Amino acid sequence: MCSLLTSSLLAMSSKNMLFVWMMMELNTLSFIPIIMTTHNTTDTETSIKYLIPQALSSNLFLVSSFLAHTSVPSSPLASIALLLKVGSAPVHTWFPTVMSSINLVAGFIMLTWQKLMPLSLLTIHELTYTPVVIASAMMSALWGSIAGLNQTNLMTLMSFSSINHLGWLLMSSTLDLTLTINYLGAYTLTLTPIYLFAQMHMTKTHSKFMTSLTANNHYQLMLTLTLLSMGGMPPMAMFGAKLPIMIAILTKSLPITLMPLILSTSISLYFYLSFTLTLMLTPKTAPQQPLTETPLLKTVYTLLLASQILWLPLMTTH
């Protein structure tokens, strides 16, 4: 974990492309032991599925660093390498496959922290080819929302939802780094309660998650509001994070790029509303094991729940 965090921070703070490539490789090698916690066949296969696209993206980035010293444009290749590393459409096929079989802790890190380094590098002008990034952002937003329909695996649903939110992150990276960090922070804050509860019950499936969730009214209320925030329901955190991006896009006079993002949000809100309606209509069942509600856990959930409401005025006053 120390190597994972340090490599990302060093890559974001360096201006030497060769050093950035070294930190990208170190970041990949540091993340593989987090995937292989049980050393079984599934974890080994998952780590290989993660390693191959990451190695390919690092090699493409290295080639683009060599092309930067020639007359050949290097920014398109660097953008493609970073988009492949973060799992953006149309080079996203490895992402849902890895997420469906990864453990919960590694999945949470891959959905949050592992996005920070590629997105921050995409804000650098020399590494960004804006038409490629914008096209990938629109495709990611639309495909992530459409593919998320009728998913029964919780991790797969979160992976397609992450691709949908990645479209907004990529669009914000072409505008301002502050917008990107704010959106990623809101996404991490919103995703945390879902993974905390899933980790408590060690469940990855849609049905088991809903069955265990309906056993406790406190968790049901908190997770329902969190899921609505994931769908972009106002005045939750994700809506508050989307609002400055929409204003910035309109300020740049790019309304055509905003339409696919809003359409994708409407589609994702549809399946999140379906999820929450099914959740509320599911008959209450007694938990198989008593839920341990420590004061610390209640405090964490209360703060996370309050932040969903308070994020909007904080964003509008920024």
Q: Give the integer Cα–Cα distance in Å for 153 and 161.
A: 12
Contact 136, 170 (CB under 8 A): yes
Average pLDDT over residues 160-178: 91
Query: Which residue bears the tokens 């066949």?
Result: 41
Average pLDDT over residues 53-82: 90
Nearest to 223 by CA among 275, 258, 261, 185: 275
Query: Which residue bears the tokens 């106002």?
Result: 234
Burial of 202 (0-12, 13-18, 19+ CB in 10 A): exposed
Q: Give the integer Cα–Cα distance in Å for 76 and 123.
A: 14
Residue with more model confidence, 111 or 317: 111
How much is the pLDDT for 229?
85
Listed range (38-52, 96-110, 134-148, 201-215) with the worst mean pLDDT: 201-215
**Above 50 in pLDDT, residue 288?**
no
**Above 60 in pLDDT, residue 205?**
no
The residue count for the chain: 318
Helix 17-35 to helix 41-67 angle (10° resolution) is: 180
Average pLDDT over residues 124-132: 88
Contact 96, 156 (CB under 8 A): yes
Instruction: Name the pLDDT band for 293 (thresholds 50, 70, 90).
Output: low
Average pLDDT over residues 91-98: 91
Write out the two tokens for 183.
């959106």
DSSP 205: B
Q: What per-residue string of b and e applies to 30-66 under the rule 16 or more CB within 10 Å gives b?
A: bbbebbeeeeeeebeebbebbbebbeebbebbbebbe
Instruction: Name the pLDDT band for 296 (thresholds 50, 70, 90).
Output: low
- What are the residue boundaries of the structural domains of the chain, listed by start? 2-316
Average pLDDT over residues 224-237: 82
Instruction: Name the pLDDT band for 206 (thresholds 50, 70, 90).
Output: low
Average pLDDT over residues 29-37: 91
**Above 70 in pLDDT, residue 316?**
no
Tell me which range, 218-222, 268-272, 299-303, is most confidently predicted by mean pLDDT. Answer: 268-272
**Above 50 in pLDDT, residue 187?**
yes
**Above 70 in pLDDT, residue 284?**
no
Listed range (24-28, 32-36, 120-124, 280-284) with the worst mean pLDDT: 280-284
Average pLDDT taken over every residue of the chain: 83
Average pLDDT over residues 300-309: 69
Average pLDDT over residues 130-159: 86
**Above 70 in pLDDT, residue 310?**
no
Instruction: Name the pLDDT band for 185 (thresholds 50, 70, 90).
Output: confident
Q: Give the integer Cα–Cα distance in Å for 304 and 297.
A: 11
Q: Give the integer Cα–Cα distance in Å for 119 and 170.
A: 7
Cis? peptide before 235, omega within 30° of 0: yes
Q: CA 65 → CA 27, 29, 43, 74, distances in Å?
A: 18, 21, 33, 7
Write out the two tokens for 108.
């949470």
Q: Which residues pair with 205 in a beta bridge?
A: 153
**Above 70 in pLDDT, residue 216?**
no
How much is the pLDDT for 28?
93
- DSSP letters spanning 14-38: ---HHHHHHHHHHHHHHHHHHH-SS
**Above 80 in pLDDT, residue 161?**
yes
